[in-house]
Amino acid sequence: MDCMRIQSTLSHSHSKNWKYDVFVSFRGDTRFNFTDHLCAALRRHGILAFRDDTRLEKGGPISAGLLQAIEGSQVLIVVFSMNYASSKWCLQELAKIADCINIPGHRVLPVFCDVSPSEVRKQSGNYEKAFVEHEERFKKDAEMMEQVRRWRAALTQVASLSGWDLKDKSHSAEIEKIVKTVTKILGPRSSSSLSNDIVGMEFPLQKLGKLLVLDSDDDVRVVGICGMGGIGKTTLASRLYEKISYQYDVSCFMDDVSKTYRDCGSLGMKKQLLCPAFMEEDSLICNILMADNLIENMLHDRKVLIVLDNVDQRIQLEKLALKREWLGRGSRIIIVSRDEHILTEYGADEVFKVPLLNDENALQLFCRKAFKCNHVAKDYEGLTDSALAYANGLPLAIKVLGSFLFGRDVSEWSSALVRLKETPTKDIMDVLRISFDGLEDPEKEIFLDIACFFPNDIENYVKDILRIRGFHPDNGIKVLIEKSLITRDRWKITMHDLLRDLGRSIVREKSPKKPRKWSRLWNHKDLSNVLRENKPAENVEAIVLPTNDEIREELSLKALSKMSRLKLLKLGQVKVNFSGKLHFLSNELGYLSWKEYPFTCLPSRFQPTQLVKLILRYSNVKELWKGIKYCKQLKWLPSTLLPIGEGSHGRLYYGGIFVFNCPNLSDTESCGVTVISWMIKMIQVNMQSSSPRCVIQVVIPGTEIPRWFNNQNEGSSMKLDPSPILNDNNWIIGIACCVTFVVHDTPTQLPEEPKYPGDLGCGFRLRSGGSYFAVPIRLKKDLITTELDHMLLIFFSRDRIIDHYTSHLKEGRCDLDGIELATLSEYPKEIIQVKSCGYRWVCKEDLEQLNSTMMYSANSSTQNKKGKFLAIQ
């Protein structure tokens, strides 16, 4: 490497590196009272004070080390007492201190303990007596007599400076004033341990300062700092503390509150708050009541700054019992946590989410660690890009990785970066895992599913799969966001690459070389190995391969049949040349998606009772027994498909059957009747549950909207009449919608690969925005070879349209005027043309009388006019 020198670009408040903050010159008569209390107060505020308690006055000159301590101290405090001038040693210190008055950076502060400033300045009273003795003693020594004259001048010079006269004043109050003055002189100071890690702090510090409203003393504010592990929360809080702590009467930075509470309990936390800020010894604090009283009394009406670092449980804040009303105006509390919910529940006024480093700052930090300079060494440019892509803006990863690579040659870098993709760095994973270990079991499972399968995917789609898996994604995803394990970006959820790697390493950790023992499989290599081994894989619960993954090996299907716990199977664009037959899958299978399915028939033993979705696009399947699919070679569907049980615990049930682009269906009307019969049964089953909540979709061949949908319109949208629900007494159970559309055969405009997760969506639109449910129809060139008309039918339970929308409207249901049924396509009408749409408010009586002929046949008559529905037409 051609770069080995560190070049610091950090700004410093002072040009000189001081050895000590404060030097205290004093006579022994104040050692155990005022001076002792002053030095203790300085220490409590993190001020490094030098005082010479070991000196023995033997008449000789003060040591060179003492002179260096004076020169190396920024603030020089002289405590003048009654007997100060009788000490030759003190006067020698004073002469040196006087020499420093005119040196830039030094500041001299006199304190008059039991003597008046005038007595010191004029050397009268006891000071006069002392100098009579000195002059008598050295009258025959010309050199020492010159020193005595210098001492007199020093006394006059220092005593003339602005300082503190303690006569008839409270020593403790004056000490507070002295400490406050010293902290202002010292100002913000950078920690040497942080100096090389402070990159990209300017914007976060400015943002945090605005949230804290530092220029106002009107109130007490609590601000939270949150973010994923290793993102720099503690570094940011420490840097801010260094910059602003001098402005407060009391300041305390509580390191690792979580560890303190775990090791020492609530009393230990209270001592950590009290001892650095108020006293030297904690042995006097023997119980919680005493600690609480001390905290309240000590903090009362004082302007304080308290930083609580690494709070990972709400109970830690509860046990600390730090109340806002105790604090003086202008006080600030900063709480650092990975869990945003802890901060909001505590009542933080603002929460600052620490961002990842941008590319420029990430590069700067990496160079400091990997090259010990601010630029990339020659021949390392491409490898640096790879390393930064792996770290993805996470400061911890950048520092660990850069430090590890420092001093290594190009080949070592290449090898290390390849190995990192297979085995993440333990130092990084250990920090990130803390957040995972703090999750409850259901949230751990959701985290692992997202890490393995959906680290960057559409939120509604991910929630759909998680529901099928039996999880509660609405709450689970919210928890993961609050704990900084995932983020929401509009309609997508994303997970940092290193958190993704963490989740996958957790799945692998017990049997890293045996994927058949993992709970999840996410790449074709591991699945190939499992299938090739043909051994029981009873731990596997889910298999999801990327959309563009391909398998071309000759594999046996017997291993799939042995996955008794398999609930999710999604093989994307996999092209497999399998040998053997699939006899059965797990009865717990809830989702099966296979875009290019290799079989012509699924036998009758394939009966997954929990199946919600089975998607087999553009495959060769010609016969199905108990399967539910839409395929290019599909010949027929069975006449009966059994409904699936309703969702449990009141969660939203979301299911569907999609028969799309199946030109070889021998009887499209029978297919439509079969699918809609299933849909009706699904609605009926779910509506009988204690908390009916469902969205059920089907796509089937069809050209006209059935007359049962009594509100119809040509085009892709139409206004809804909300009058039936304005005075609704809960007898409307939902709304059924129908859309007819055609996908045109336009090879020049169709994409090589599907662009979107759902190319057609249906939902409801208000002035303030809309909410759509996408249908998993993905378009691809050379697969849409026939222009077929299709119908999309969706049933929304009442909460999906009525309760969901009215809960957000200022005027309640009256504000539903203007709501529209609308379709949304990611493609122009030259590719996807929506021809017509319609809807019907569905009441309980409708559901009892509803049959597939009504919902499918375009020639069906309007339902019984004596029904309640007529009253709201």
Nearest to 571 by CA among 560, 587, 579, 556: 560
Question: By percentage, how much of the chain surpasses pLDDT 70?
Answer: 78
pLDDT at 506: 95
Higher pLDDT, 573 or 693: 693
Q: Where do the DSSP E strands lie in 99-254?
A: 107-112, 164-165, 221-226, 250-254
**∠692-448-584 over CA atoms, to 5°?**
70
CB 238 within 8 A of CB 189: no
Lowest model confidence (mean pLDDT) among 99-103, 239-243, 589-593: 589-593
10 Å CB burial of residue 53 (0-12, 13-18, 19+) is: exposed
Q: Which of 494, 544, 533 is nearest to 511 (CA)?
A: 533
Q: How far apart, in whole angstroms, are the C-alpha atoms of residue 102 and residue 280?
A: 35
pLDDT value for 585: 75
User: Above 90 in pLDDT, residue 183?
Assistant: no
The pLDDT > 90 percentage for the chain reads 42
163, 110 Cβ separation under 8 angstroms: yes
Residues 190 and 207: their CA atoms lie apart, in Å, by 19
Band (607; pLDDT cuts 50, 70, 90): very low
For the ranges 15-19, 326-330, 425-429, 565-569, the lowest mean pLDDT is seen at 15-19
The predicted model gives 738-767 an average pLDDT of 78
What is the rounded end-to-end Cα distance, in angstroms, of the chain?
81
pLDDT greater than 60 at residue 418 = yes
Token pair recorded at residue 658: 């999609």
Q: Are 319 and 269 in contact (CB under 8 A)?
A: yes
pLDDT band at 853 (very low <50, low <70, confident <90, very high): confident
pLDDT of 870 strictly over 50: no
Query: What's the whole-number mean pLDDT along residues 814-823?
Result: 78
Q: Which helix (H) or strand (E) holds 775?
A: strand 769-775
The Cα 65–Cα 485 span in angstroms is 54
pLDDT over 60 at 636, yes or no? yes
Work out the pLDDT band at 120, boundaries 50, 70, 90.
Answer: very high
3-state secondary structure of 107: strand
Query: Which DSSP symbol is given to 756?
Result: S
d(CA 262, CA 254): 14
Q: Which helix (H) or strand (E) is 50 found in, with range?
A: strand 49-50
SS3 label, residue 579:
strand
Distance CA 332, CA 341 (A): 20
pLDDT of residue 768: 66
Please report the pLDDT score of residue 658 as a whole number: 82
Least confident range from 54-68, 232-246, 359-373, 485-499: namely 54-68
When pLDDT is cut at 50, 70 and 90, the band that residue 574 belongs to is low
pLDDT band at 860 (very low <50, low <70, confident <90, very high): very low
Q: Ranked by mean pLDDT, which of 404-408, 655-659, 675-679 comes out on top? A: 404-408
What is the DSSP code (8-state) at residue 478?
H
Confidence of residue 865 (pLDDT cuts 50, 70, 90): very low
Phi, psi at 777, each rounded to 5°: -110, 110
> 450-482: b or e for each residue (b if 16 or more CB lie within 10 Å)?
bbbbbbebbbbbbbbbbbbbebbbeebbebbeb
pLDDT(71) > 60? yes
Looking at per-residue confidence, does 623 or 765 come out higher? 765
Q: Rounded CA gap, 366 and 183, in Å? A: 34
Q: Give the model's pLDDT for residue 641.
A: 66
Q: What's the chain's length in residues?
A: 873
Within 13 A of 515's CA, how many CA atoms are on the CB side?
19
pLDDT at 154 over 60: yes
Average pLDDT over residues 156-161: 95
pLDDT higher than threshold 50 for residue 4: no
- Residue 9 pLDDT > 50, yes or no? no
Residue type, 109: L
Q: Which two tokens mark 667?
A: 């009887």
Average pLDDT over residues 484-495: 90
- Summarize the confidence of residues 440-445 as an average pLDDT: 96
Where helices occur in 599-714 by DSSP H, the ranges are: 668-687
- Determine the average pLDDT of the residues in 427-441: 93
The single-letter code of the amino acid at 530 is V
Banded model confidence at residue 850, pLDDT cuts 50, 70, 90:
confident
The mean per-residue pLDDT over the stretch 302-327 comes to 92
Query: Tell me, what amino acid is at 469?
Result: R
Q: Among 400-414, 419-433, 680-694, 745-759, whose mean pLDDT is lowest?
A: 745-759
List the catalytic residue out of 71, 93, 443, 588.
93
Which uninterrupted H or E stretch holds 738? strand 732-743
The model's confidence at residue 453, banded by pLDDT at 50, 70 and 90, is very high
Residues 234, 240: Cα–Cα separation, whole Å: 10
Q: Is residue 78 within 8 Å of 109, Cβ to Cβ?
A: yes
| CB contact set of 687 (below 8 Å; sequence gap of 6+) | 694, 733, 734, 797, 847
pLDDT at 6 over 60: no
The verdict on whether 146 is a catalytic residue reads no
* Of 3-12, 546-555, 688-697, highest mean pLDDT: 688-697
Q: Kindly indicate the confidence band of residue 352, based on its pLDDT and cuts at 50, 70 and 90.
A: very high
Query: In the structure, how many helices (H) and strands (E) does the chain have?
Result: 31, 30
Angle, helices 288-299 vs 257-278, to 10°: value is 60
Identify which has the larger pLDDT, 285 or 557.
285
Return the axis-axis angle of helices 410-422 and 395-405, rounded to nearest 10°: 140
Q: What tokens does 265 get?
A: 């309990």
Cα(65)–Cα(58) distance, integer angstroms:
17
**Mean pLDDT throughout 295-319?**
90
Q: What's the mean per-residue pLDDT of the chain? A: 81
d(CA 27, CA 45): 24
Residues 6+ apart with CB under 8 A from 583: 561, 603, 605
